[in-house]
Amino acid sequence: MKSIEQWFTEYGESHRNATNKAIHWICVPLITYTLLGLLWAVSPYALLVFCVVALVFYLTLSTTMALVMLLAVILMTWSFTLFSREALVISCIVIFVLAWIGQFIGHKIEGKKPSFFKDIQFLLVGPIWLLGFLFKRYGWAY
């Protein structure tokens, strides 16, 4: 089993270009938010199952990261209740598609394929990879 540092290092290999990184800082949170929003709109149970699987993965890497992601999911889920189902679905679909277009533009600029083409688990690594930068910047342990 890979450590969190191994995941971050491997993910970082296709995220060295400054423009691609900047795009990821915008698009990864948007993709995460809209994916969870769409799952919520389909069924809160679908969201629950997805989040449990993701949190188990995060727990194998870092209890701290798992707790931060759990807090983020709680806040995002609360925010979904502020929208009508129709508004949530439409806005999430539009933003999800645009954010993925941004991701692929970033990787075109980078000249490397997205990491999830190699291992689907990298779709879960992206959000905590960004958190890892914040943790390092402020000297927090993860």
How big is the CA angle at 49 (ends 47 and 52), to the nearest 5 degrees?
105
Residue with tokens 């389909």: 42
How confident is the model at residue 11, as a pLDDT? 97
Give residue-wise pLDDT tens across range 85-103. 999 999 999 999 999 999 9
The pLDDT, as a whole number, for residue 47 is 97
Q: Does the model's pTM come out above 0.75?
A: yes
Cα gap 59→139, rounded to integer Å: 20
Tell me: the pLDDT tens digits for 20-58? 999 999 999 999 999 999 999 999 999 999 999 999 999
Q: Residue 77 is encoded by which pair of tokens?
A: 């889920």
Q: How far apart are CA 57 and CA 121, in angstroms?
A: 9
